[in-house]
């Protein structure tokens, strides 16, 4: 279990405004609310969904220990709250844990009106969404992400999943939450490496869609990486949520545009697998993967020399652990088994100019092998 150790200091009194970002999906529309210290007024924030029914707060022990007063406050305000604790690491994301949660919910008397509040990072969010999507054929879920990765990516867009021994996220559903509540003040109890590496997903939005985010990473990286400028952090988070919301609104089921979110993830996933999801954080693997994808974009004439040089210097600002010896054959093997390949065709995300992600089906094995030269 990841027990937070290093505390990130944040300046105490600069509170960014609340930002409400709509995710437009017809009857499944919802808002992403970004607001510092939102957790302090959670009873009010959740009030529109509280009809006196049972609430399951799905979380992990370290978060429960740190934020028990937040949960207690809900109880005191009259919410019928039942915390359910699951492991904080990837081991929670399997069908056995889902079954344990379903069973506890039955024992607690949860019915079709009950709500799941998934309070945690990607593991809790994916498991919570999956459990909610299937319990009594589907009950509402609200995402309360506590990691930066979850705030800017995994809590948004309705991807829910558990893993199989054969691979990650092989069983799940697209099941939209009723709301995503983003309180960046959760980040202050996370290890710095966890937060900084997760900025990878934000810079990804810069590469594929938003040159304002990209420019912030060029001009303000040190301030961002210090995690001390609350307004800047909130701006990056809200802009990232906005891009994700736009993309998911256009393509909920990943028929096309949503694939752009995989920029850096195809080769990054191979690096993550080689390190067995241990030595390298997801964001770090994606940073390495974005270097390779930028290399291929340049090789194919989609990024000019200057843009490529800038892209690499943006990515090189991030501290990264050494990648070690990655065998090209192993990378190709993992890429060829990626579940995102359809009928054997690899959809590889490149950038045709910064801010313009494109789906390419003509990235070859030799392009991938060649690109590894920039990360060795």
Which are the catalytic amino acids?
137, 159, 201, 244, 254, 258, 262, 265, 269, 282
Rounded to a whole number of angstroms, the minimum distance from the CB of residue 213 to ligand GLY is 16
Q: What are the tokens at 229?
A: 């400028």
Q: Is 153 in the site for ligand GLY (CB under 6 A)?
A: yes
Q: Which residues pair with 143 in a beta bridge?
A: 118, 180
> At residue 16, what are phi and psi to the nearest 5 degrees?
-75, 155
Calpha distance 271→275 (Å, rounded): 6
Q: Which CB atom, from 178 or from 204, has the smaller least distance to ligand GLY?
A: 204
Per-residue contact track with ligand GLY, 253 to 292, x per CB under 6 A? -----x--x-------------------------------
In our burial notation (b when 16+ CB lie closer than 10 A, e otherwise), range 331-368 reads bbebbeebeeeeeeebbbbbbeebbebbebeebeeebb
Stretch that binds ligand GLY, among 151-159, 180-188, 276-284, 310-318 (CB under 6 A): 151-159
Nearer to ligand GLY, 114 or 266 (CB): 266
Nearest to 276 by CA among 218, 324, 342: 324
User: Per rule CB under 6 A, is residue 159 in the interface with ligand GLY?
Assistant: yes
- Report the C-alpha gap between 38 and 210 in whole angstroms: 26
User: How far is residue 94's CA from residue 168's CA, in Å, rounded to a whole number?
Assistant: 9
Is position 157 an interface residue for ligand GLY (rule: CB under 6 A)? yes
Half-sphere exposure for 202 (CA within 13 Å, toward CB): 33
- In whole angstroms, how close is the CB of 260 to ligand GLY at the nearest point? 9
Stretch that binds ligand GLY, among 75-83, 138-146, 150-158, 337-345 (CB under 6 A): 150-158
Stretch that binds ligand GLY, among 23-31, 80-88, 152-160, 293-301 (CB under 6 A): 152-160
Tell the residue number behind the tokens 């579940």, with chain if given: 339
Residue ranges binding ligand GLY (CB under 6 A):
153-154, 157, 159, 258, 261
């Amino acid at each position: 279990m990841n027990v937070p150790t290093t505390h990130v200091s944040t300046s105490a009194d600069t509170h960014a405004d609340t930002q409400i970002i709509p995710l437009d999906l017809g009857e499944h529309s919802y808002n992403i609310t970004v607001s510092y210290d939102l957790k302090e007024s959670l009873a009010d924030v959740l009030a529109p969904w509280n009809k006196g029914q049972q609430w399951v707060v799905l979380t992990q022990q370290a978060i429960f220990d740190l934020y028990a007063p937040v949960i207690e406050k809900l109880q005191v305000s009259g919410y019928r709250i039942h915390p359910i604790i699951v492991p904080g690491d990837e081991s929670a994301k399997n069908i056995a844990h889902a079954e344990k949660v379903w069973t506890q919910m039955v024992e607690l008397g949860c019915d079709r009106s009950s709500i799941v509040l998934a309070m945690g990072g990607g593991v809790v969010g994916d498991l919570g969404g999956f459990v909610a999507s299937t319990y009594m054929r589907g009950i509402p879920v609200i995402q309360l992400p506590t990691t930066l990765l979850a705030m800017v990516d995994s809590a948004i867009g309705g991807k829910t999943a558990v893993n199989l021994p054969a691979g990650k996220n092989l069983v799940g559903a697209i099941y939209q939450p009723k709301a995503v509540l983003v309180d960046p003040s959760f980040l202050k109890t996370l290890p710095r490496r966890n937060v900084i590496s997760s900025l990878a997903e934000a810079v990804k939005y810069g590469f594929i869609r938003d040159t304002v985010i990209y420019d912030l990473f060029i001009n303000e990286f040190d301030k961002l990486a210090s995690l001390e400028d609350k307004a800047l952090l909130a701006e990056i988070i809200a802009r990232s949520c906005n891009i994700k919301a736009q993309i998911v609104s256009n393509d909920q089921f990943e028929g096309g545009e949503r694939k752009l979110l995989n920029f850096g993830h195809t080769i990054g996933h191979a690096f993550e697998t080689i390190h067995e999801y241990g030595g390298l954080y997801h964001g770090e693997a994606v940073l390495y993967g974005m270097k390779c994808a930028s290399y291929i974009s340049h090789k194919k004439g989609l990024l000019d020399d200057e843009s490529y040089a800038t892209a690499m210097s943006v990515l090189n600002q991030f501290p990264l652990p050494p990648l070690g010896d990655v065998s090209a054959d192993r990378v190709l093997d993992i890429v060829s088994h990626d579940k995102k390949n359809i009928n054997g065709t690899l959809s590889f995300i490149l950038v045709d100019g910064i801010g313009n992600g494109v789906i390419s089906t003509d990235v070859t094995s030799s392009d991938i092998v060649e690109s590894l030269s920039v990360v060795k």
